[in-house]
Amino acid sequence: MNRPVLSPHTPRPAGAPLALAGIRVADFSHFIAGPLCSMILADLGAEVIKIEKADGGDDFRNLRPKVGNDQSGPFLWTNRNKRSIAIDLKQEAGIAVARDIVAKSDVVLENFSTGVMARFGLDYPTVSAGNPRLIYCSVSAYGRSGPLKDRLGFDPITQAESGFMAMNGDADRVGVRAGPSIMDMATAMMTCNAVQAALFARERLGRGQYIENALFDTAVTMVGFHALNYLLSGQEPSRFGNASRDTVPTAAFDTADGPLFIACANDRTWNRLAARVLDRPDLADNAVYASTSGRIEHRDEILAVVSGILLKKSRTHWLGRMREAGVPGGAINSIAEAFGSTEMRDRELMSTIPHPVEGFVPNIRLPFRMEGTPLADPVAAPGLGEHSEWVLREVLGYGDAAVEGLRGSGAVKMG
């Protein structure tokens, strides 16, 4: 399949305000959860200063595929619309620069191991003393307090430990992790919500606050209503693979030329599926199948009947009929099929944006749109230390001697 043809990004309306204009974020985070959170804030108009280690920067720069000299596809994905300063925090002069950036910021975001920021004198109790309006956000695997605070953890580990993984896959096999880093991404979105709530609260209360979010806690949230069902009933959910334990037929099915997924969540949808899509009004009229509970009880026979019918014609045929009948269904696409689909094109999710080395790179916009305060026009992720001098001069007000001293000592790496 050919790769999709991308068009240049369409600029936002001239003069339109940005939702978070005037907010500065000192972003010490790396990998996914923290940087994705700060990227959302940047897309909303915040000025995000990405503070990276002088020796190599964010380790996400080193993944594949490589882009330019010091970037990668994953790094581009999480670091749009930011400015980078590269600081050697092993030098006192470098720590002093970091402290000055924090002092001039509205938000600090960090996801180091517990205790690292305190060693630099950049922990919340220390920096908030001189900046009481500061909002300080720590992201970690298991929190900053309690017996788990020093434990390292990553997305798939929290998928496993929270019970999330145990709900995915087939009943006769071990639970399956979600392929994308779903807990990192959910943590980023939850954290972004908390930061914006804290900014709103600051307008009313006149002070900032400390925010903490943990991947494990987010993973528990992502178990969804199954968690509450277990607490109410004591019964653990079973794995049904691509089927649903709660509604029938909600499952994956093969057709004559490719798989699709149907979500039949209520009795009305079942009637439309049986009578108008499958041309089986007798199934719709069957009193045993009329209710969700009846269909669950006869799950296997219903799935077998539906499967046999769908195999007789093409996926395009069935999806067209389902759309006409108002039955939710979609093709089970490969990544290539998804990004070449009409849905992807019609939603205008992809574009190209300029890149100083590659000329242009692909871009995938955030999913929401704001009419009154459109998202910022996307700027490709920065090179390591690309904006070091700009930050020193324009944000911190350092003069020539100070800038050259930091350059010469290596306390700040200039891009």
Average pLDDT for 249-259: 98
Average pLDDT for 260-271: 97
Q: Across all residues in the chain, what is the average pLDDT?
A: 97
**Residue 401, Cα to own-chain centre: how many angstroms?**
42
Residue in 184, 257, 267, 377 annotated catalytic: 184
Question: For residues 351 and 371, what is the distance between their CA atoms, to the nearest angstrom?
Answer: 19
The pTM of this model reads 0.97
Neighbours of 398 (CB within 10 A): 19
User: Computed over its alpha carbons, how large is the radius of gyration of the chain?
Assistant: 26
The predicted structure's pLDDT at residue 245: 87
Query: In percent, how much of the chain has pLDDT > 90?
Result: 98
Specify the CATH superfamily of domain 24-223+348-413. Crotonobetainyl-coa:carnitine coa-transferase; domain 1 (3.40.50.10540)
Question: For residues 394 and 24, what is the distance between their CA atoms, to the nearest angstrom?
Answer: 13
Whether the pLDDT of residue 95 is over 90: the answer is: yes
Residue 228 — very low, low, confident or very high, per pLDDT cuts 50/70/90? very high
The predicted structure's pLDDT at residue 2: 75
Residue 367 — very low, low, confident or very high, per pLDDT cuts 50/70/90? very high
Whether the pLDDT of residue 1 is over 70: the answer is: no
**Three-class secondary structure of residue 52 per DSSP:** strand
Strand order in the sheet with 210-214: 210-214, 135-140, 107-110, 24-27, 47-53, 82-87, 412-413
Whether the pLDDT of residue 290 is over 90: the answer is: yes
pLDDT tens per residue, range 305-336: 999 999 999 999 999 999 999 999 999 999 99
Judging by DSSP bridges, how do beta strands 24-27 and 47-53 pair with one another?
parallel
- Partnered with residue 351 across adjacent β-strands are 363
**Three-class secondary structure of residue 324 per DSSP:** helix
Alpha helices in 234-341 (DSSP H): 267-272, 281-285, 292-297, 299-310, 315-325, 335-339
**Structural domain spans, the chain:** 24-223+348-413, 250-254+259-331
The predicted structure's pLDDT at residue 32: 98
Q: At what angle do helices 92-103 and 400-409 cross, to 10 degrees?
A: 130
Please state which CATH number belongs to domain 250-254+259-331. Answer: 3.30.1540.10
pLDDT tens per residue, range 173-218: 999 999 999 999 999 999 999 999 999 999 999 999 999 999 999 9
Catalytic-residue membership of 184: yes
Neighbours of 238 (CB within 10 A): 9
